[in-house]
Amino acid sequence: MCKKNNISINEVQFDCDWTESTHDAYFQFIKAIRPALKEYFKKDIAISSTIRLHQLAQEPPAVDYGVLMCYNTGNFKDFKTENSILDVKDVEKYTKYLKKYALPLKLALPDFSWDVEFDGNHQFVRLNRGDYGELYDSTNLKHLKGNMYAVSPVGEEETTKYIRHEVVSAETILKSKALVEKLYGNMPIVLYHLDNKQLSKYSDDEIKAFFD
């Protein structure tokens, strides 16, 4: 695609949630792809990789740098989870590996939100990337506590649904950033993802603080 459309690239990033069982296959792929890219594009291509928090406990891949994904830290399918996008307590579990992690890192922070839907038995139904106010009739929404809502049944065959509306506060983002940088040092920041609707949840000063 790049050659056909005359697009020049200098870097390729690979996103892989490898585990102990898939570690070897991913690392072998990374090792093989570098000379293949150089041969194809006739120049050196930088290679980066996403790094999940749990992957900090393992050796890093042979890439030029990693992007530490400081989000999706909790189990969104668990009804008891308060916020699966980002929880400082979840981040804290893995920071002990940062001092010895032998790879340059950038830090990816979340500004997105989503809604997690559960049935009347608190079983996971689906993940909605829209907004609960747009997806459900507000007259049927009842605030329970925190970020949890109940959706009253409309028809006779329907049952009560539960919606957990997950938004990450600027305070949580900044606390997580400070926790990581305290052990690793200052890092280039990646904000995921950039659009006006997501960024509108934060003030200009808060957005500036994400990058300070």
Higher pLDDT, 135 or 173: 173
Q: Would you state the structure tokens that stand for residue 205, as one six-digit string?
A: 């000063």
CA 142 to chain centre: 28
Residue 74 near residue 93 (C-beta atoms within 8 A) = no
Closest to 61 measured CA to CA, from 108, 106, 102, 12: 102
Show me where the domains of the chain are located.
Answer: 11-111+168-211, 113-166
Helices within 121-202 (DSSP H only): 132-135, 170-184, 196-199
The string of pLDDT tens digits covering residues 9-27 is 999 999 999 998 999 999 9
Task: Give the whole-number percent of the chain exceeding pLDDT 90.
Answer: 77
Q: In this predicted structure, what is the pLDDT of residue 139?
A: 72
Confidence of residue 197 (pLDDT cuts 50, 70, 90): confident
Architecture field, domain 11-111+168-211? Alpha-Beta Barrel (3.20)
Closest to 79 measured CA to CA, from 146, 140, 144, 148: 148
Q: What is the pTM of this model?
A: 0.89
138 pLDDT higher than 80: no
CA 108 to chain centre: 7
Confidence of residue 135 (pLDDT cuts 50, 70, 90): low
The string of pLDDT tens digits covering residues 142-183 is 889 999 999 887 666 577 899 999 999 999 999 999 999 999
